[in-house]
């Protein structure tokens, strides 16, 4: 007899949580070609104390469940600090970054384009490709796969240029999804998304 999997309950944060961070220009991301109005739409702000660019994380119902931050220190490796951090407990990755904003476009196009980072989602959004999300990494959790199956749309994987689609974990994700939907792959051979530097 199979045990029923326990559903993880994320802590739902107050809608005002992001107000403690400063709303201002993020010059380094502007320099990379992300438009200010797109950053505003995705809720990008600045954590002056932690010296991080921060953005909200929502579940599919639109509840705020986390805040993610990227360091602004260029020499973060030498400083031994993480490039990205979550400000609250992540728990199960049963969400896609940006989905609460891009869901209507995904439904309209009957297709979701999955990137590794939210920066790529914002770049694509500015170029007019609005049916995108970020998996926050180049493999999918079982919960993310379940969510994709529920969306009932075609899936396009557009990972960074350093990802090998024939590697075991990535290949397994593709095989699972191919049983229920069409899966396409975009390779970033010209490193338009900045490769692994996000």
Q: Cα–Cα–Cα angle for 88, 93, 98, nearest 5°?
A: 85
Count CB neighbours of 6 within 10 A. Answer: 7
Structure confidence at residue 3 (pLDDT)? 52
Structure confidence at residue 112 (pLDDT)? 98
Q: Cα–Cα–Cα angle for 138, 114, 24, nearest 5°?
A: 95
Distance CA 141, CA 95 (A): 9
Q: For the segment 88-136, what is each residue's pLDDT rounded down to a tens digit?
A: 998 889 999 999 999 999 999 999 999 999 999 999 999 999 999 999 9
Token pair recorded at residue 60: 């599919």
pTM of the model: 0.89
Structure confidence at residue 198 (pLDDT)? 44
């Amino acid at each position: 007899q199979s045990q029923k999997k326990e559903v993880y309950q994320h802590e739902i944060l107050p809608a005002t949580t992001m107000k403690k961070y400063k709303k201002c220009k993020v010059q380094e991301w502007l320099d990379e070609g992300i438009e200010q109005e797109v950053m505003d739409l995705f809720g990008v702000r600045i954590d002056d104390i932690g010296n991080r660019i921060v953005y909200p994380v929502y579940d599919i119902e639109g509840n705020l469940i986390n805040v993610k931050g990227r360091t602004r220190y260029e020499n973060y490796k030498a400083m031994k600090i993480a490039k990205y951090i979550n400000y609250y407990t992540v728990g199960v990755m049963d969400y896609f970054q940006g989905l609460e904003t891009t869901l209507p476009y995904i439904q309209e196009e009957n297709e979701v384009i999955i990137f590794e980072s939210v920066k790529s989602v914002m770049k694509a959004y500015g170029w007019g490709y609005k049916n995108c999300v970020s998996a926050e990494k180049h493999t999918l959790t079982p919960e993310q796969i379940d969510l994709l199956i529920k969306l009932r749309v075609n899936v396009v994987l557009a990972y960074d240029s350093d990802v090998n689609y024939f590697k075991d974990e990535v290949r397994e994700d593709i095989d699972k999804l191919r049983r229920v939907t069409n899966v396409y792959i975009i390779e970033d051979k010209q490193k338009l998304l900045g490769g692994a530097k996000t």
